[in-house]
Amino acid sequence: MKKKLIYICIIVWGSISVSIYASEQQKPNQLTESEKEILQIQAIEQVKLFQDYCSRIAQKGDAETLKGEYITETINLFDSTQKTIEVSSLYRNTEKKDIQTYLFRLKDLPYTQVQITTGNILFTHPFTQTGDDWYEGETTVIQKFKAINLHTPIYTDITLRQIKVYAQKKTLYGLSN
């Protein structure tokens, strides 16, 4: 009887130590493949939303208050107003602008019509862990910008935009700070 009890204790202890070892090997914030897919879909949706807001901000028929709301919503997509975006211009070289300056300039463009269209958004760099619960990835999108004055195209620009996206694992479950 004593021999059986020792044998059972050894088996139980062995399984506990294996489960502890296995849980130590798997990082608690590591993404599963399905979580990565969900975050990528969410990231692509956010980039689409950004492109849509830019298009709406550039429209000439909307009221200033509505454009102000679009600018606020667009800025809220970023973790900081210090984030930059490359801007091309008819009269200047490509330069970087902070996102808020970019959006206000987009709103105030002197053309009678502005068209911003977007091609497919591709997830070009998969999410990698950058912090305790933070992940970074990158999307690529082709953006076409067309400025028109009195039905005459003035400026057309096609830009390949590479957009870094950040996500937290807890956003998969509808949680926020």
CATH number where 74 lies: 3.10.450
Does any domain span residue 9?
A: no
- 153 Cβ contact list (under 8 Å, min separation 6): 146, 147
Give per-residue pLDDT as tens, 106-161: 999 999 999 999 988 998 988 888 887 788 889 999 999 999 998 899 999 898 88
For residues 86-94, give the mean pLDDT.
Answer: 76
Domain extent at residue 85 = 30-173
Does any domain span residue 151?
A: yes
**How distant, in Å, are the alpha carbons of 33, 41, 161 from that of 37?**
6, 6, 21
Does any domain span residue 80?
A: yes
Q: Helix and strand tally (H, E) in the chain?
A: 4, 5
- 159 Cβ contact list (under 8 Å, min separation 6): 86, 88, 142, 143, 144, 145
If one counts the domains in the chain, the total is 1
Secondary structure element (H or E) that encloses residue 113, with its range: strand 113-129
Report the pLDDT value the prediction gives residue 81, as an integer from 0 to 100.
75
Does any domain span residue 58?
A: yes
Does any domain span residue 11?
A: no
Residue 28: band (very low, low, confident or very high) from pLDDT cuts 50, 70, 90: low
Distance of alpha carbon 30 from alpha carbon 22, whole angstroms: 14
Give per-residue pLDDT as tens, 62-71: 888 999 999 9
Half-sphere exposure of 124 (CA within 13 A, CB side): 12
Does any domain span residue 22?
A: no
Classified as helix, coil or strand, 46 is helix
Does any domain span residue 168?
A: yes
Report the pLDDT value the prediction gives residue 107, as an integer from 0 to 100.
94
Residue linked to tokens 């429209």: 59
Instruction: Please give the single-letter amino acid code of residue 106.
Output: L
For residues 84-90, give the mean pLDDT.
Answer: 78
In this model, does residue 96 exceed pLDDT 70?
yes
